[in-house]
Chain A
Amino acid sequence: MASAPAIAVVGSAIHAPRDPKQRSLEEAMYAVAKAALFDAGLSTDDLDGIVVGANDQLDGRAISIMMASGSVGGVGRDILSTPSAAEHAFVLGAMRIATGQYRTQLVVSWSPTAVNSVPEALKLGTDPYFHRALPLDELSAAALQATAIEHAVPGVREAALGIVVKNRSNGAAAYPDRSPAPLEQSWIGSGKMLRWPLTENMVSPPAYGLVALVLASAAFVKKRRLSSPAWIHGMGWATETGFLGDRDLANALALAEAARQAYRAAAIKDPTDAFQLAEVSDATPYQELLACEGLGLSARKQWRNARKSARFASDGSTPVNLSGGALSFNPVYCAGLVSIAEAANQVRGRAGHHQRKNVRRVVAHAASGFAMQYHTVVVMGADRREARS
């Protein structure tokens, strides 16, 4: 079987600006790009290319990459944009290095809150042919999916609430300087209903965030003696179809496919004990349930016991969302890339307050679009290995 050269994450930065008015969006991008390069011990001169992921409607710019380009080193360089999802920028960046044409790539994404209404902006994602007149925004789509899951697994709501508590507790420990989110289970479950069955406290409001990662080829890592790389062992990505009505919202088929691709490349046969940690999509707790199932970490029949399961707890054998996930900090558009960065940081020993010991291998999952339309899975590890193709 052919194998691609090894590629590693060698630097990252996750920014949660406290005061969005202090800096322009471009200045904030400049800062996060510089911070990731600094973390990698590299300068912009070392960059062979850049991939950004941004959403025009959130940014308020008809071509986000235009104004952004200069901020992240685009002048005189090769820069592309994947508006479909922030995590697609990561996938493309890694592939570009694997072609052998590039030694390094900077991957950047951001999710501003300058728009008057994030839901309104994202609602523009519905088609004008059939669905635009409906109150269908990302939250509604997530709610439809939650309903489908509750129907498929009666009584799962308790487990879902338990996940909110788990992730919020993790988030409070991981990032004590960020605003805390509600974590009292009874409060979460009985709060104001936003979109059935999601209460206001079962999700996190959109937050302003930016994230950047630096990727490098094995040859470059060796030549520049870069310390603490997180090697990409396998990547997979796939999409569901566009119309929600055409999908089985309680089953993430595209995630199964993305995981299959990633595990095949990483030569993983049994995911249940392959990872010391997982960072997965959790815009709602139901997403985390689907994610863990799709990644092969848990089976549906175990969901109801998820709350009692010690495995995914912060001190368990495979903590899920030790960073707190999107349930704690929700930079809507780039949350998936943040999950990848958080997982990479654990391998690299750069996870700060929430660093876990002896992390050899992790899995990151990102989902974007209405009701998890796009799924991306990235397996990373401390051992330098090539991904099999």
Chain B
Amino acid sequence: MTKTRVGIIGIGQSEFKARRDDANYPELVREGVALALKNCGRTLEDIEAVVYSLAPDALLGIGNAERLGVDAVGARNKRFMRINTGGSTGLSSVAVAHAHIASGACDLVLAAGGDKVGESGDSQTILNKIWDPTYERQLPLGTITMLAMSAVRAMNKYGMTEEDMARITVKNRANASLNPNAHLRKKVTIEDVFASRYIAWPIKLLDACPQSSGGCAMVLASERYIKENGLEAVWITGVAHCSESYFIGDRMGKGFVADHADAHALGECFERSYAMAGIKRPAKRIDVAELYAPFSNTEFHAIEAAGLAPKGKSMAMLREGAFHIGSRTAVNPSGGTLCTNAIAVSAMVRVAEAALQVWGRAGAHQQPNAKVAAASGNGGDHQFFGTMVIEA
């Protein structure tokens, strides 16, 4: 535990859509900020520091776009820095905001960002450029193909089937239909998933996340500030990051530490957050888990890395009704990244949704009696992982 307890006092997120032609990028960021400030009755003047959440510059087509976002987040003449850990950026930004407070540097910090992935024209082409120019960039590697290859290994190792994958999509779309902020809200059936075309085998269109646009922001405060101002809060009790080798080929073959079928570093990351939060048996303690999983197959290894199912067993558990809203641990009751993916903030939305759950403010997609939630973010080529535990 850190010396200073850090609470989340305000949350704001856009209603995510494919395109937002009505707003330029800074305006989209401002949208999330305005909602978060209103949520906790603070103004921009109250904020002491801003942590700006922004993943690859290329997706926005602006180098160091955070510089343009300074006024959108009210950071003129204030402490300001930007974080980029690929897809896990949003969660890492909240973690850095946490560090600003836990270190004693500040009492009130804003984490904010936005994305317009739809405007980049072709995110996979850009995401191909995350691979190194030495060995792998000329291969058609993208996040979809990279995670399709993870699915292939999971099928081989655990017997995961395409039907198992489809079941995740069905669950998450049903959840998203209850979430007004989600992008893809239409319910689908297993047949619908099977009828959708293959993108990269075995991942089909309905197994994949959309390209979403929108903003998200969170206001964090020290326990002292919260008490002095009589504010409501939920608490970040665990936070950690851990990463994997960049080389996918090292996660297979002989003598590997991590198998590309699994999310080994995510598992280690959860262990560290849980240790900080004093949670010894997550399957019994975690009521809600918002786990970053942009493709249906990846939700399984995320569930297992979060300690919510033994390795290779999450598929069977899902078949038996686990992980739905109302079960012991609801996984991605918001619909998850599979239904909304504004890359720069998707991992922040995981934290936001986890916080809303333990706050009892999740509306129609509320997990009943949620008191302890876990959130995760993934970045890079399944390389950077961040996790958090949030409690009422």
**Direct contact between A and B in the complex (CB less than 8 angstroms)?**
yes
Question: Do A122 and B265 touch across chains, with their CB atoms under 8 A apart?
Answer: no
Q: Which residues of B contact A95 (CB under 8 A)?
A: 99-100, 103, 105
Question: Do A240 and B81 touch across chains, with their CB atoms under 8 A apart?
Answer: no
Question: Do A61 and B132 touch across chains, with their CB atoms under 8 A apart?
Answer: yes
From A85, A101, A125, contact of B102 by CB (8 A): A101
Convert B46-73 into 0s and 1s, putting 1 for each residue whose CB lies closer than 8 angstroms to a CB of A.
0000001011111001111111111100
Bound complex: CA A56 to CA B3 (Å): 35
Decide if A257 is an interface residue (CB 8 Å cutoff): yes
Decide if A216 is an interface residue (CB 8 Å cutoff): no
Q: How far is the CB of B49 from chain A (nearest CB, A)?
A: 9
Q: Which residues of A contact B82 (CB under 8 A)?
A: 82-84, 88
Bound complex: CA A286 to CA B241 (Å): 41
Question: Do A84 and B80 touch across chains, with their CB atoms under 8 A apart?
Answer: yes
Kindly name the residue among A67, A98, A370 whose own CB sees the greatest number of chain B CB atoms within 10 A.
A67
Q: Which residues of B contact A99 (CB under 8 A)?
A: 2-3, 99, 102-103
Q: Which residues of A contact B242 (CB under 8 A)?
A: 76-78
Question: Do B70 and A69 touch across chains, with their CB atoms under 8 A apart?
Answer: no
Question: Do B86 and A66 touch across chains, with their CB atoms under 8 A apart?
Answer: yes
Question: Do A125 and B64 touch across chains, with their CB atoms under 8 A apart?
Answer: yes
Interface size on B, residues (CB 8 A): 66
Question: Do A122 and B268 touch across chains, with their CB atoms under 8 A apart?
Answer: no
Q: Which residues of A contact B62 (CB under 8 A)?
A: 124-128
Q: Which residues of B contact A205 (CB under 8 A)?
A: none
**Identity of the chain A residue whose Cβ is nearest the Cβ of B136 in the assembled complex:** A67
**Identity of the chain A residue whose Cβ is nearest the Cβ of B67 in the assembled complex:** A242
**Identity of the chain B residue whose Cβ is nearest the Cβ of A93 in the assembled complex:** B99
**Identity of the chain B residue whose Cβ is nearest the Cβ of A123 in the assembled complex:** B63
* B-facing residues in A166-222 (Cβ within 8 Å): none
Decide if A75 is an interface residue (CB 8 Å cutoff): yes
From B78, B96, B130, B240, contact of A61 by CB (8 A): B130
Among the 9-residue stretches B158-166, B315-323, B377-385, the one with 4 or more Cβ atoms under 8 Å from chain A is B377-385
Question: Do A238 and B2 touch across chains, with their CB atoms under 8 A apart?
Answer: no
Chain B contact residues: helix, strand, loop or mixed = loop
Question: Do B129 and A242 touch across chains, with their CB atoms under 8 A apart?
Answer: no
**Chain A interface residue bracket vs B:** 35 or more
Question: Do A2 and B103 touch across chains, with their CB atoms under 8 A apart?
Answer: no
From B63, B70, B245, contact of A124 by CB (8 A): B63
Given contacts A60-B133, A63-B86, A99-B2, contact A238 B77 (CB under 8 A): yes
Question: Do B78 and A98 touch across chains, with their CB atoms under 8 A apart?
Answer: no
Question: Do B105 and A254 touch across chains, with their CB atoms under 8 A apart?
Answer: no
Q: Which residues of B contact A94 (CB under 8 A)?
A: 103
Convert B144-178 into 0s and 1s, putting 1 for each residue whose CB lies closer than 8 angstroms to a CB of A.
00000000000000000000000000000000000
Question: Do B80 and A98 touch across chains, with their CB atoms under 8 A apart?
Answer: no
* B-facing residues in A70-92 (Cβ within 8 Å): 70, 74-85, 88, 91-92
Given contacts A75-B243, A373-B67, contact A81 B78 (CB under 8 A): no
* B-facing residues in A8-65 (Cβ within 8 Å): 24, 26, 49, 55-57, 60-65
Decide if B372 is an interface residue (CB 8 Å cutoff): no
Question: Do A69 and B2 touch across chains, with their CB atoms under 8 A apart?
Answer: no
Kindly name the residue among B24, B71, B84, B92 whose own CB sees the greatest number of chain A CB atoms within 10 A.
B84
Bound complex: CA A4 to CA B103 (Å): 7
Convert A129-165 into 0s and 1s, putting 1 for each residue whose CB lies closer than 8 angstroms to a CB of B.
1000000000000000000000000000000000000
Q: How far is the CB of B250 from chain A (nearest CB, A)?
A: 9
Decide if B83 is an interface residue (CB 8 Å cutoff): yes
Question: Do B100 and A81 touch across chains, with their CB atoms under 8 A apart?
Answer: no
Question: Do B241 and A79 touch across chains, with their CB atoms under 8 A apart?
Answer: yes
Question: Do A242 and B68 touch across chains, with their CB atoms under 8 A apart?
Answer: yes
Decide if B79 is an interface residue (CB 8 Å cutoff): yes
Q: Which residues of B contact A60 (CB under 8 A)?
A: 129, 133
Bound complex: CA A76 to CA B383 (Å): 10
**Identity of the chain B residue whose Cβ is nearest the Cβ of A67 in the assembled complex:** B132
Question: Do B104 and A4 touch across chains, with their CB atoms under 8 A apart?
Answer: yes
Question: Do A62 and B83 touch across chains, with their CB atoms under 8 A apart?
Answer: no
Bound complex: CA A72 to CA B197 (Å): 41
What 6 A-B pairs come out closest when comparing CB atoms?
A: A98-B103, A124-B63, A84-B82, A99-B102, A62-B129, A125-B63
Q: B: which residues have CB within 8 A of A?
A: 2-3, 24, 52, 54-58, 61-71, 75-86, 92, 95-96, 99-100, 102-105, 126-127, 129-134, 240-247, 257, 265, 268, 276, 379-381, 383-384
- List 16 A–B pairs whose Cβ atoms lie within 8 Å, in order of A's numbering: A62-B58, A69-B383, A76-B265, A77-B243, A82-B84, A84-B81, A95-B105, A98-B102, A99-B99, A99-B102, A125-B64, A127-B62, A127-B68, A129-B24, A238-B80, A243-B68
Q: A: which residues have CB within 8 A of B?
A: 2-4, 24, 26, 49, 55-57, 60-67, 69-70, 74-85, 88, 91-92, 94-96, 98-101, 121-129, 236-243, 246, 253-254, 257, 261, 369-370, 373-374, 389
Beyond contacts A84-B66, A101-B102: 7 other A-B pairs, Cβ-Cβ < 8 A, are: A67-B246, A77-B242, A80-B83, A82-B82, A84-B64, A124-B62, A237-B80
